[in-house]
Structure 1
Amino acid sequence: MPPSSSTSRPSLLAVFGHPDDESLLVGGVLAQHAAAGAATAVVTATWAPDSHRAGELADALDILGAGKPRMLGFADARIPDSAPGRPRLCDAPLEEVAGLIVEHIRAVRPHIVVTHDAYGQLTGHPDHLRTHQATLLAFHAAGLEHLYPQAGAPWQPDALYAATHPDSGVDELGVLLTRVGKKVLSVPDGHVNATVDVSDCLDRKWAAILAHRSEAARERPLPGILSRLPEATRESIIATEYFTLLGGRPAPGGAVLQQSR
């Protein structure tokens, strides 16, 4: 759905691997766009629609103004019973996953699509990497009528962005992840095309992160790590969101993630 004439912000579709990725990586941008009247939506590649994490995702999206969950229902690479009877996302054929994402792109008709970066985010999770690969393919296929014709009428978004982390922006977060045995795969600063200050909606972003209650209660997931930090430290980590342009063109006037076509 194109943005209304009352807002300069483009419609936005976020495609991520797990419930909570949307809140952690683009929760601020989703909240900003929704508050400005732009259409926003989220596709989540793993976990079954009847799982406890689906309910948490629904609560988080409600806080962010991003509609109802759109879940592909594949199993998490490390938690096979997250979607009983379904293949793990990392084992599913890439073209099959891309086709499902194309359906959502054509249904939502966003001007901007956002997904994981080529590393699979800081920790290199295989589900993040597979989601990046499938979304990149889907972005280019969605506008071509002879690809995935069963997925609806063609729609070509303006731009595809990867949510990412530059080397200069992971100091505190990198230390925290290293302490729990996780990788820290940041990109050179020059790979970042857009840096968005989301401090105006930190309350909503943090509430959305906490809505993923099962992750916030655990030690190693990022929601749990963040919940144990002093407020000022946590806010310094989540108040900025970073993006790399992967395809298409930035918004007019250089106002990336701000203006519609």
Structure 2
Amino acid sequence: MRKAISPESPRHDLDGNELCALTVHAHPDDEASKGAPTFAMYGETGVRTVLVCCTGGEEGDLNNPALKEPGMPFHGLDEVAQQKLMESVRPVELAKSVEIIGFNKLHMLGYRDSGMDQSPKNLNPECFHMADMDEATGRLVKLIRTEKPHVIVTYNDDHRGYPHPDHVKVHEISIRAFDRAGDPSWYPDAGAAWQPLKMYYSVWSRSRLTAVHEALLRLRGSSPYDEDWFSRPNMDDRITTKIRIENYFWARSGSLRAHATQVDENEPFWFGLSDEELAEVYPFEDWILAKSCIENHSPDAQHLEDDLFAGIKQKAR
């Protein structure tokens, strides 16, 4: 299994700060399914990469039936014992995923998983969904001021496709933290102000979905992407940035496999196509530039970027 390779030399902005990209996710495994190839690529090309995971994923279901087979860790466990084991396993899985992708730093924001939308677990006072907005934003601001990212990646603002309360909260605190991190009047005890320059939303584009769906039908005879998937909001007209990552699909597949409780290796939704086939079918990850502090830099669907750091002045290497 391949892992990210450390770059020979880091990249810096004109003030000598190491270029940094920070991504905010709700649960362990989200970093694997959204942006793993992009962050592996940047890590190998001299960018410091930071992962903020807001919860421990404690309420995750066991999605891999193989782990219930005789001799496997979840065999014969009742619901209480299974939940207890899940809580201890998920941090281990996350650590493996972080190593594979090559993140330089992992920060846990310190909240409990809220469970799926409208679950009674949404009301747990320790869960992320119930966290005070300003307090949760302050935790993220402190990490931003510590890590000094030029680019922040978070979830998009259209939650109709997946209204998980933790994903909604990630979006809400991320946009506030982007604006407040550079304002010294906010959270004066959270370190010196630092203004990130760009914020991106992750997106599973309709173009990618269609390309993978059609390839599965052609190569495998069936596809898990049904009408429900194609009824989700199409945000392709908002995409501003396409990153070529055909040489980095190993980061996606490897990190997904690291989350063995959440990902069934035999599930075609995740592994219906090989890394090589995905690279042929759709060799990009797509992003929406949501906020920018860079003057005269306004990519759109007709003028796409190919780099999250486009417009950020850098020292020659």
TM tier, shorter chain?
Answer: 0.7 to 0.9
Question: Which of 65, 68, 76 is equivalent to 2:102?
Answer: 65
- Tell me the equivalent position of 1:240: 284
Q: 1:224 & 1:129 partners in 2: Cα distance?
A: 27
Task: Report the identity percentage.
Answer: 24
Matches within 5 A, 1:29-48: 29-47=38-56
Aligned to 1:225: 269
Aligned counterparts of 1:159 and 1:25: Cα–Cα separation in 2? 18
C-alpha offsets along residues 86-106 of structure 1, whole Å, 9 cap, x if unaligned? 622111111111111111111
Deviations 1:65-116 (A, max 9, x none): 1034211121222179x9xx86221111111111111111111101100001
- Maintained 8 Å contact 2:244/2:306: no
CA distance change for structure 1 residues 244 and 216 in 2, over 3 Å: closer, same or farther?
A: same
* Cα drift, residue 230 of structure 1: 3.7
Deviates further, 195-204 or 99-108: 195-204
| Structure 1: gaps (5+ residues) | none
- Which position in structure 1 is the counterpart of 2:12? 4
3-state DSSP of counterpart to 2:166: helix
Aligned residue in 2 for 1:53: 90
| Equivalent runs, 1:125-204 vs 2, <5 Å | 125-171=164-210, 172=212, 176=224, 178=226, 185-204=232-251
Give the stretch that moved more between structures: 140-149 or 199-208: 199-208
State the distance in 1 between where 2:166 and 2:173 align: 10
Specify the alignment match of 2:31 in structure 1.
22
Instruction: Classify 1:244/1:69 alpha carbon distance in 2 versus 1 (closer, same or farther; 3 Å).
Output: same
- AA of the residue aligned to 2:45: A
Q: Residue 43 of structure 1 aligns to a residue in which SS?
A: strand
Partner of 2:129: 90
Question: After superposition, what is the alpha-carbon deviation per residue over 1:107-154, rounded to whole angstroms, capped at 9, x for unaligned?
Answer: 110110000111248423221111011100000000000101111110
Give the conservation status (yes or no) of the 8 Å contact 1:112–1:157: yes
1:214 deviates by 1.0
Further displaced range: 157-166 or 133-142: 157-166
Q: TM-score, normalised by structure 1?
A: 0.82
Deviation (angstroms), 1:249: 4.3
Does structure 1 retain, via aligned residues, the 8 Å contact 2:208–2:282?
no
Matched length: 250
The answer to whether the 8 Å contact 2:242/2:306 transfers is: no
AA at the equivalent of 1:57:
L
2:307 to 246, 256, 259: 256
Q: Report the structure, 1 or 2, having the larger helix content.
A: 1
* Worse-matched range after superposition: 170-179 or 10-19: 170-179
Q: State the superposition RMSD in angstroms.
A: 3.3
Question: Rg bigger for which structure?
Answer: 2
In the TM superposition, residue 48 of structure 1 has moved relative to its aligned partner by 7.0
* Distance change (3 Å), C-alpha of 1:166 and 1:205: closer
Q: 2-side partners of 1:25 and 1:250: how far apart?
A: 25
3-state SS of paired residue (1:140): helix
Moved more, 246-255 or 204-213: 246-255
Q: Normalising to structure 2: TM-score of the pair?
A: 0.68
The one-letter code sitting in structure 1 at the alignment partner of 2:111 is F
Give the match for residue 141 of structure 2.
102
CA distance in 2, matches of 1:190, 1:22: 24
